[in-house]
A and B are shown apart, each in its own frame.
Chain A
Amino acid sequence: MAFAAFGSANAPAAGKPTRSGKVVIALLAPGLAYLGAFFLTPLFALIMVSLEVPDPNGGYAEYVPAFEIGNYFYVISEYLPHILRSFGYALAATVLALVISYPLAYFIGVKARPWPLLQKLMLTLVIAPFFISFLLRTLAWKQIFSNESWIVSSLHDIGLLAPTQYVVGTPFMVIFGLTYNFIPFMTLPLYTSLERLDLRYLEAGSDLYASPSKVFRKVTLPLSMPGIISGTLLTFIPIAGDYINASGDFLGSSSTSMIGNVIESNYLQINDYPSASALSVLLMGVILVLVSVYVKKSGTEDLL
């Protein structure tokens, strides 16, 4: 493992003390200032809004600054099913994405090594879904599994679905869509890890009479752990906040609403900004905990 660090693309330029701090500042300042203004301050704005109370003299959807911690208790009790559902769906979809991606990433990164052009072509296929609109590809699945589709009618015919049951609008469909839409985020980091895997370790394992499954568990899996961790993070986070797949116009129904759906409708439709903001802050809090666990384990250099 230690050897890999030398070749890592993320290692800082070897021992080159900076002579020109001014250059560094000039290079960093504009971009970091931009993130400060349009990423960090909005997060603070979100925290402020999450503590606001309705304006006693104002009309509909008017709020005044306050320090109402109660907003958080309110959203937790009111939207607990949505919160649990979001993390449940995200967990299920992430596990599915991992199970589906791993063999694929292994094939591209290890088995296809003798053919670099084929590797590149397969990687292009992995990211191909990114190039067609996210909404269009989700709608395509909705049509494929629509109530009138041959898939659903054959499921009815063979009795796998009761005549009154359909696929669109069910948790199954939402998890299916979430898995599909975020699979490339899992496959790519797994590929990156497996592509660097030194096959001599596997040979050494089998030379020492380990069975193929034991080699996999004791050698391949631990060595690909960085990819598994970053892939899990990269899929779990956007899935937990997604509201397209679970929306009633796409793959879900009112009984599949996730946190994202609640934030969207509270913010953009019923203008309950404090509730929407409190939920956003809670979601962000959970994500930050996950990220900090990751940083503790692997440091910040490998984040980017």
Chain B
Amino acid sequence: MRFSLGKLTLPLYAVLAFIYLLIPIVYTFVFSFNNSLKTNLIWRGFTFDKWTNVCQREGVCEAFGNSVFIGIISTIFATGLGTMIAIALVRYRFKFRSSVNLLLFLPMATPEVVLGAGLASQFFNLGVQKGIWTIIIAHIMFCLSFVVVTVKARVASLDPALEEAGRDLYANPTQVFWKITFPLLLPGIASAALLSFALSFDDFIITNFNAGSDMTFPRYVYTAAARGVPAEANVIGCAVFALAILIVLATQINGEVKRRKLAKVH
């Protein structure tokens, strides 16, 4: 009796934990359909209006557009720079290796207020006007290390024999990289890019220290929070959430299908 009860406890606990994790998400979804006026505090009835007319609310779509732009540019640079470092860390041995590891870890271990205030002080000292580009500079900085971590795991799992085979067949180093290494790394690079975009898109604290008057989506929500966030913000948040989850699920199912196919071949 005690045993069977024990077997059920953990799954039941997991279900409760997932409910807890999902409550605010469900809440945000439900209230994106609220027929609300200016604020979105009380349930006033169901409507699709906020989804179909998101941009009617002043500033929401502009802030969203800025966030997407910042996210894309930051991701491109962070992914490029981070992938190069990841390849160097796994494929080569060099002195100062632990210093490099530490330098990469520190931005992840530094509280966002410190990163934000530090960079803002530097821009201030240099007399740089804050705006979209200072936000982008900040985002590349804090996304970089996360890209390294993600791509590094992928590089480490590559079989060096594949590259050796390429060299044996007289491919030059450039050919080996673009024809063998890069395609094999691509899934890792793609997930690093996704992570980087997600981090950039959702960042508020560092952005707030380094933004001028430009709005990003999190800044819009923060500013609106004092008066009440309109349902249109929920719509944007939920749309992004749905897209992200779809991408993650698609990759997972794709990976699982490939794994099963491989299992059949062997």
Binding site for B on A (CB under 8 A): 9-13, 16-18, 20-21, 23-24, 26-28, 30-32, 34-35, 38-43, 45-46, 48-49, 100, 103-104, 106-108, 111, 116-117, 120-122, 124-141, 143-144, 146, 148, 180, 183, 233, 237-238, 240-244, 249-250, 259-260, 263-264, 267-268, 273, 276-277, 280, 283-284, 287, 291, 295, 299-301, 303-304
Contacts and interface: CB of A to CB of B under 8 A. Distances in A.
B37 to A, nearest CB: 16
The 4 closest A-B pairs by CB, nearest first: A241-B111, A42-B118, A140-B24, A31-B81
B204 A134 contact: yes
Interface string B157-193: 1001000000000000000000000000000000000
A136 B60 CA distance: 14
Given A23-B92, A120-B252, A303-B105, A267 B156 contact: no
B84 A104 contact: no
A27 B245 CA distance: 33
A284 B252 contact: no
Nearest to A133: B237
Contact of B85 (A31, A144, A260, A299): A31
A158 B263 CA distance: 58
A27 B113 contact: no
B115 A39 contact: yes
Given A24-B88, A120-B256, A126 B101 contact: no
Contacts of A141: 24
B28 A140 contact: yes
Contacts of A18: 92-94
Nearest to A65: B125
Interface in B1-44: 10-11, 13-14, 17-18, 20-25, 27-28, 31, 41-42
5 contacts: A46-B114, A132-B24, A263-B113, A284-B111, A291-B106
Between B23, B118, B217, the greatest number of chain A beta carbons within 10 A of the residue's beta carbon is seen for B118
Between A34, A103, A106, A249, the greatest number of chain B beta carbons within 10 A of the residue's beta carbon is seen for A34
Contacts of B244: 131
A146 B41 CA distance: 9
Contacts of A127: 248
Contact of B93 (A12, A122, A183, A301): A12
Nearest to A50: B121
B103 interface: yes
B120 interface: yes
A295 B28 contact: no
B92 A183 contact: no
A136 B103 contact: no
B202 A134 contact: yes
A181 B110 CA distance: 17
Contacts of A43: 114, 118
B259 to A, nearest CB: 8
A243 B153 CA distance: 32
A11 B89 CA distance: 10
Contact of A137 (B13, B24, B105, B233): B24
Interface string B69-94: 00000000000011011011111111
Given A38-B141, A303-B104, 14 more contacts: A35-B104, A43-B118, A120-B256, A128-B241, A132-B241, A136-B24, A136-B233, A139-B229, A144-B23, A240-B111, A260-B205, A287-B109, A287-B110, A295-B102
